[in-house]
């Protein structure tokens, strides 16, 4: 009995922690790691939706990808939308967070309002925005018409479609990032601002020289999270598109890499190539993440 008790104690202290974290790793293994590795396997084959595995192809799918203009177009679109969406979004989030960080009336209410777009269904939101950005009957063009601007074919042009999609992304993520910044700002010691005020530093100067430097790690965190998220951008442009073909506009003006993956795998039935594209996207995200992390270390190390 005593031996058993000792054994149980040993299992309790040594085994229990692993047991507690096991559910996550089990689920991750089944739904995360396995598909990830299986994708590599699929990408090395001629693999079609209908016929299944049609033989080993080596790196053929990857070779095709390098010279595939549609892949580069999709990558350009994804990066372009990322820049158009995320740069203004994070800057705006900083400004709003700074405003909310001051003692203003109804702060709690504003904080709640900010998070509402984030909890709204992404597809529902994209449908509403798609209607707003209609060429002839869309509200936005009607408003532009009132101030004498000709209707914009939002889906027709490359930049205009990027802007429309960026608006949807920012609508959803602005509040989320603002709240993260706000939380970080509240951790900045108040006496730093007091000291700066006594020295006669303006609000703008305080913002630039106290808030921003103190928030550096947080800003980098949001940049990394945004990068990972936006490189996989799919739902907004897919719903914004007319028809379900994943073409991303009449000439692929806003076809993102994930849309290309979907088109190849599920519309054209070419699983092998779809898998290769998604695996390359995975590595692009890893590299971008690493660059971010490296940048973070450099900045932290800077005086």
Specify the residue, 99 or 250, whose C-beta has the smaller distance to another protein: 250
> Helix 271-301 to helix 212-231 angle, to the nearest 10 degrees?
170
49 binds another protein (CB under 8 A): yes
Specify the residue, 175 or 248, whose C-beta has the smaller distance to another protein: 248
Token digits for 71? Answer: 């892949």
Specify the residue, 144 or 201, whose C-beta has the smaller distance to another protein: 144
Residue range at the interface with another protein (CB under 8 A); choices 115-123, 178-186, 241-249, 282-290: 241-249
Compute CA distances 179 → 4, 22, 78, 182, 226, whole Å: 51, 31, 26, 5, 14
Specify the residue, 13 or 136, whose C-beta has the smaller distance to another protein: 136
- Cβ(240)–Cβ(209) below 8 Å: no
Q: How far is the CB of 273 from another protein (least distance, A)?
A: 9
Selected from 39, 110, 125, 153, the binder of another protein by CB under 8 A is 153
What one-character DSSP code corresponds to residue 75?
Answer: H
Q: Which of 258, 259, 238, 263 is nearest to 123 (CA)?
A: 238
Selected from 43, 177, 247, 278, the binder of another protein by CB under 8 A is 247
Q: How far is the CB of 148 from another protein (least distance, A)?
A: 20
- C-alpha to C-alpha distance for 237 and 77, rounded to whole angstroms: 11
274 binds another protein (CB under 8 A): no
Q: How far is the CB of 294 from another protein (least distance, A)?
A: 38
Selected from 243, 298, 301, 303, the binder of another protein by CB under 8 A is 243
250 binds another protein (CB under 8 A): yes
- C-alpha to C-alpha distance for 34 and 179, rounded to whole angstroms: 34
15 binds another protein (CB under 8 A): no
Selected from 53, 99, 120, 131, the binder of another protein by CB under 8 A is 131
- C-alpha to C-alpha distance for 205 and 207, rounded to whole angstroms: 5
Specify the residue, 182 or 261, whose C-beta has the smaller distance to another protein: 261
DSSP assignment of 100-146 equals HHS--TTHHHHHHHHHHHHHS-HHHHHHHHHHHT-SSS-HHHHHHHH
- Cβ(278)–Cβ(298) below 8 Å: no
Q: How far is the CB of 83 from another protein (least distance, A)?
A: 23
Residue 262 φ/ψ, nearest 5 degrees: -65, -45
156 binds another protein (CB under 8 A): yes
Specify the residue, 52 or 303, whose C-beta has the smaller distance to another protein: 52
Specify the residue, 215 or 260, whose C-beta has the smaller distance to another protein: 260
Which residues are 53's β-sheet partners? 47
> How far is it between the farthest Cα atoms of the chain?
89
266 binds another protein (CB under 8 A): yes
269 binds another protein (CB under 8 A): yes
> Which residues lie near another protein (CB under 8 A)?
49-50, 52, 130-131, 134-138, 153, 155-156, 242-245, 247, 249-251, 266-269
């Amino acid at each position: 009995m005593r031996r058993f008790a000792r054994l149980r104690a040993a299992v309790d202290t040594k085994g229990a922690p692993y047991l507690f974290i096991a559910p996550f790793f089990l689920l991750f293994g089944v739904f995360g790691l396995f598909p990830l590795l299986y994708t590599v396997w699929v990408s090395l084959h001629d693999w079609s939706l209908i016929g299944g595995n049609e033989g080993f192809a080596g790196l053929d799918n990857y070779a095709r990808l390098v010279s595939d203009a549609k892949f580069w177009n999709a990558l350009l679109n994804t990066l372009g939308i990322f820049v158009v969406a995320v740069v203004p979004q994070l800057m705006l989030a900083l400004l709003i967070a700074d405003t909310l960080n001051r003692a203003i009336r109804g702060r709690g209410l504003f904080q709640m309002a900010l998070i509402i777009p984030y909890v709204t269904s992404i597809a529902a939101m994209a449908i509403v925005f798609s209607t707003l950005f209609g060429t002839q009957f869309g509200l936005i063009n009607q408003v532009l018409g009132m101030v004498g601007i000709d209707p914009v074919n939002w889906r027709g042009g490359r930049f205009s479609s990027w802007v429309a999609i960026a608006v949807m992304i920012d609508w959803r993520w602005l509040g989320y990032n603002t709240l993260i910044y706000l939380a970080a700002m509240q951790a900045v010691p108040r006496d730093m601002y007091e000291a700066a005020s006594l020295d006669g530093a303006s609000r703008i100067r305080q913002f630039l020289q106290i808030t921003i430097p103190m928030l550096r790690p947080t800003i980098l965190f949001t940049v990394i999270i945004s990068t990972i998220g936006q490189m996989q951008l799919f739902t907004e442009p897919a719903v914004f598109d007319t028809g379900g073909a994943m073409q991303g506009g009449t000439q692929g003006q806003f076809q993102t890499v994930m849309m290309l993956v979907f088109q190849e795998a599920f519309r054209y039935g070419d699983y092998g190539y779809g898998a290769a594209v998604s695996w390359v996207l995975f590595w692009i995200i890893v590299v971008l993440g690493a660059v971010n992390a490296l940048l973070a270390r450099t900045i932290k190390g800077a005086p």
